[in-house]
Amino acid sequence: MDNHHTTLVWFRQDMRLEDHPPLHHAIERGKSIIPVFIWEVEKKGVWNPGAASRVWLHHSLIQMQKELAAKKSQLIIRRGQALSVLKQLIEETNADSVYWNRRYEPDSIQHDTAIKTALRETGIEVKTFNGSLLYEPWEVKTKSGTPFQVFTRFWEACKLFPEPSKPLPVPKILPPPLQWPHSLDVHELRLLPKVDWTDGIRETWQPGEKGAQTHLQRFISSAIDAYSKDRDFPAVIGTSRLSPHLHAGEISPRQIWYALRESERLHSAAQRSNEIWAYLREIGWREFAHHLLFHFPHTPDKPLRTDFERFPWKNETQNLRAWQKGLTGYPIVDAGMRELWHTGWMHNRVRMIVASFLVKDLLIPWQEGAAWFWDTLVDADLANNTMGWQWSAGCGADAAPFFRIFNPVLQSRKFDANGSYIRRWIPELSELPNKWIHEPWTASADVLTHAGINLGKDYPFPIVDHSFARHRALNALQTLKRKLS
């Protein structure tokens, strides 16, 4: 098959047509373009996509196929080792160039470097681009040239850079090859579970580029002006909910940046500007997470603060299972874990509460929580997941100190005062009055009976007393300090 020097554009976590640098540059090259997706054979020791991420990917690929079909193109889907598949496609199509967006996880960097070297040795042109971050992780550094470990200083350094480049437009058409190579059907990748538990994800989300734009426009039109106030309340849709789309690359941070900056220009009020920058700061946290992972590649498994390798964690499987299932007896914790299981997502405030409960109330290693989130979150970025769990455990960069232990009842009363979030995800508590819904074990027998609750049967008693757990955690911290002295 002679395709007159085709360019293969390798799609990974960049399932979009707008602001896609490899596509843009392939079009500028003026040759035919074959978009490619490769589902690699899962490898041991590598952070393969979790179950929820695979479900999202399945639906995202289907949407990508539709978007490409509208541009008179196709997504060629293959399975296997990426280098072998790319070489096979090069031979089948007479392609002489391969373009892709860079990924920044430690395994991905090593993997991509090997592929790039091997292809160039055969005379293939390889070009890679930044399509997922505002700035490259190696660009932002301290005056002494070292990586940042404090977010505020990192973000101030970012703001000294020129604004990110503007998003690239959606291509009008993608030049097709003379003949298309064979492609697998998405279903042949077997990304969906054998026993279907995905109803909640399908009900909650619209994977794909259009779904991302829907959330972005909804956020700008109805939520941004109260973002600082509403973002901490899980019963309110006060956040952008763009994290799964960012994870899949269905929208880029540059697109978000310029959409918000344009909104700021159109609404010159200081309040709108302040809220926009409060949100862009959260995009900055995502950048910081990738910065940390790039410079400290051991952190998905080991604490950045090496002294925490000696922390006296407890490996109590029964308590871990209760936490995973949303059966700890603390309603705000259980609501969060059930939201996660049903939708593949959890509100950020609640993520902090459930993480604090696991590592501090239960003294279960943060790696266990990170692994569960990795498998169940549809927005499971390795960088964000690692930073968030190390922050909660007090062992990472810019981390909350270990002695900052969230009280789940006080957090619940503050951020879900009328129990709306709890009632949504724990319907067995729905008839409890607000006074008792945050700590049902303190309600009288009459109150529980009136609410139709048999505590210990319909809903569990707390698996640990928070006051006891707090003192135990602080004692464990003192033990760690004594070991270091």
Residues with a known catalytic role? 282, 285, 313, 348, 366, 389
Phi-psi region of 131 (alpha: psi -120 to 50; beta: other; left: phi over 0): alpha
Contacts of 371 by beta carbon, 8 Å cutoff, 6+ apart: none
Contacts of 210 by beta carbon, 8 Å cutoff, 6+ apart: 63
Question: How far is 41 from 85, CA to CA, in rounded Å?
Answer: 11
* H runs (alpha helix) in 70-208: 82-93, 106-121, 151-159, 199-204
First and final C-alpha spacing in the chain: 70
Question: How far is 151 from 400, CA to CA, in rounded Å?
Answer: 12
**E strand or H helix at 173:** none
DSSP 8-state assignment for residue 118: H
Angle between helices 382-393 and 366-376 (to 10 degrees): 150
Q: Using alpha carbons, select from 259, 303, 324, 319 the residue that is nearest to residue 402.
A: 303
DSSP 8-state assignment for residue 193: -
Q: Using alpha carbons, select from 24, 19, 25 the residue that is nearest to residue 253.
A: 19
**Long-range Cβ contacts of 414-421 (<8 Å, 24+ apart):** 415/232, 415/233, 415/234, 415/332, 415/349, 416/233, 416/234, 416/235, 416/332, 416/335, 418/235, 419/331, 420/235, 421/233, 421/234, 421/235, 421/332, 421/335, 421/347, 421/350
For 34, list phi and psi in degrees, rounded to 5: -120, 110
Identity of the amino acid at 164:
P
DSSP 8-state assignment for residue 100: E
Question: How far is 364 from 312, CA to CA, in rounded Å?
Answer: 9
Token output for 108: 């991905």
Buried b (16+ CB within 10 A) or exposed e, 251-284: bbbbbbbbbbbebbeeeeeeebbebbeebbebbb
Token output for 401: 């100190």
Angle between helices 348-356 and 366-376 (to 10 degrees): 140
β-bridge partners, 97: 7, 125
Torsion sign over Cα 164, 166, 170, 173: negative
